[in-house]
Amino acid sequence: MTAYKIALIPGDGIGPEVVHEAVRVLETISELDPKIQFAFTEYPWGCEDYLKNGEMMPENGMEILRDYDAILLGAVGYPGVPDHISLRDLLLRIRHDFDQYVNLRPVKLLKGAPCPLKDVKREDIDMIFIRENSEGEYAGSGAWLYPNSDQEVVIQNGVFSRKGCERIIRYAFDLARKEKRSLTSVSKGNALNYSMVFWDQIFNEVKKDYPDVPTYSLLVDAASMFMVKDPKRFGVVVTSNLFGDILTDLGAAIAGGMGLAASANINPEREYPSMFEPIHGSAPDIAGKGIANPLASIWAASQLLDFLGYKEWGKRIIDGIETMLEQKRGLTPDLGGNASTSECGKTLTEYLK
Ligand code: NAD
Ligand code: IPM
Ligand code: MN
């Protein structure tokens, strides 16, 4: 039997603390189901390394990662290294260069999870965000002209290709069809007169191939309002890179907090490894204290199992998280408990067993 080769990039701050709990959970699953084996290799890439060597990953870093079945990442970014360097040279580089153009982010309020919204039924918060993950506002195209002069100008271009828009919108339609859910496109054509008009046009074109999928189109400002006031409107949601980034932090806030929000960066063609990570950052304010919530990372491990074809195990992890929330056992301080990061991870493994 061959083991799945998994590259671990724990990264900065709480990244290593939470990733190691995700690994604990995957190792427990290997014990319980010996046909699922993993070979983990850890790469200590991140801001500490950058301060020593001047690079966020070695020159051949992408070649090293190329051979893995998947990547588990913690978080990147730490005070002392400018965020636009640390993130662009590591996390965003992997997403882009491995053509992980789908960023799948569930926003589901599990039973027992805290929710700040009033008059909203728990089951009404159940959406799947499909965020475009390879171009758009994150394309990194622009210029900084005449610095430090009174002529100083910066230009940040959004790059929306037909191929890029069409493939992400199709992916979202296929998912909505499979899940028998509606699909909402979120854009901003009233102000972004090139990029978002183009996005809306492509959404309307692709829609013709999916007459069975109910569709809605919302402007991003209204979408953020409806996520709070009427979240049951949303099933599958497809949107651009930046809008998806912002809306999924809002999604995290209504679905239990940053400690419960997971993210899969998928290359659907499986030409390159896909990458699984919590959506939160390195949380410098709590790093090193042993109180970070590992459940988002563990949820990302569940997405990894789904991706490898072990949906039963993926679901068992989510069921385990839900039971912990309902029974208020093994929870970290952000969820009102007093467990440490590792106690939380261990509690989940007990539920799996
Ligand atoms: P953050 O997500 O790190 O933290 C925001 C708040 O949420 C903090 O109060 C933090 O303590 C809390 N929080 C986050 N994750 C938590 C967890 N697992 N358990 C308990 N509390 C948690 O966002 P930020 O402060 O805006 O960013 C910090 C750094 O992380 C920056 O350098 C930023 O660029 C980077 N960042 C990286 C990623 C990533 O690698 N995917 C994502 C977001 C931010
Ligand atoms: C996320 C993060 C990243 C993003 C940052 C760290 C570049 O916020 O994964 O949500 O904006 O995509
Ligand atoms: Mn984000």
Q: Whose CA is nearest to atom 12 of ligand 2?
A: 245
Q: Is residue 77 part of a domain?
A: yes
The answer to whether the CB of 87 is under 6 A from ligand 2 is yes
The answer to whether the CB of 46 is under 6 A from ligand 1 is no
Q: Which atom of ligand 1 is nearest to the CA of 286?
A: 11
Assess whether pLDDT exceeds 90 at residue 111: yes
- The bound ligand whose nearest atom lies closest to the alpha carbon of 19 is 1
The answer to whether the CB of 245 is under 6 A from ligand 2 is yes
Q: How confident is the model at residue 9 (pLDDT cuts 50, 70, 90)?
A: very high
Q: Whose CA is nearest to atom 42 of ligand 1?
A: 281
Neighbour count for residue 38 (Cβ, 10 Å)? 18
Shared domain check, 130 and 47: no
Shared domain check, 327 and 270: yes
Q: Is residue 109 part of a domain?
A: no
pLDDT per position as a tens digit, 296-327: 999 999 999 999 999 999 999 999 999 999 99
Shared domain check, 329 and 207: no
What is the CA(168)–ligand 1 centre distance, in A? 26
- In the chain, the percentage of residues whose pLDDT exceeds 70 is 100
Q: Is residue 217 part of a domain?
A: yes
Three-class secondary structure assignment of 145-157: ECCCCCCCEEEEE
Beta-carbon contacts of 149 under 8 Å, excluding residues fewer than 6 positions away, are: none
Shared domain check, 149 and 18: no
Task: Over range 246-259, report the average pLDDT.
Answer: 98
What is the CA(75)–ligand 2 centre distance, in A? 9
Angle at 41 between CA 38 and CA 42, to 5 degrees: 130
Task: Over range 111-118, report the average pLDDT.
Answer: 96
Q: Chain-centre distance of CA 351, in angstroms?
A: 25
The answer to whether the CB of 135 is under 6 A from ligand 1 is no
Shared domain check, 146 and 244: yes
Residue 345 sits in a domain whose CATH number is: 3.40.718.10
Q: How many domains does the chain have?
A: 2
- In the chain, the percentage of residues whose pLDDT exceeds 90 is 99
Task: Over range 90-102, report the average pLDDT.
Answer: 98
Q: Which atom of ligand 2 is nearest to the CA of 277?
A: 9
Q: pTM of the entire structure?
A: 0.98
Q: How confident is the model at residue 242 (pLDDT cuts 50, 70, 90)?
A: very high
Q: How confident is the model at residue 14 (pLDDT cuts 50, 70, 90)?
A: very high
Query: What pLDDT does residue 175 have?
Result: 98
What is the CA(130)–ligand 2 centre distance, in A? 14
Shared domain check, 271 and 209: no
d(CA 154, CA 164): 25
Shared domain check, 93 and 156: no
Higher per-residue pLDDT: 2 or 51: 51
Of the residues 14, 83, 90, 92, which should be mutated to test ligand 2's pocket, given the most ligand atoms within 8 Å of the CB?
92
The answer to whether the CB of 6 is under 6 A from ligand 1 is no
Give the β-pairing of 126-132 and 70-75.
unpaired
Q: Is residue 110 part of a domain?
A: no
Assess whether pLDDT exceeds 80 at residue 1: no
d(CA 353, CA 350): 5
Query: What pLDDT does residue 2 have?
Result: 81
Shared domain check, 299 and 222: no
Q: What is the DSSP string of 93-104?
A: HHHHHTT--EEE
Q: How confident is the model at residue 114 (pLDDT cuts 50, 70, 90)?
A: very high
Parent domain of 138:
115-255
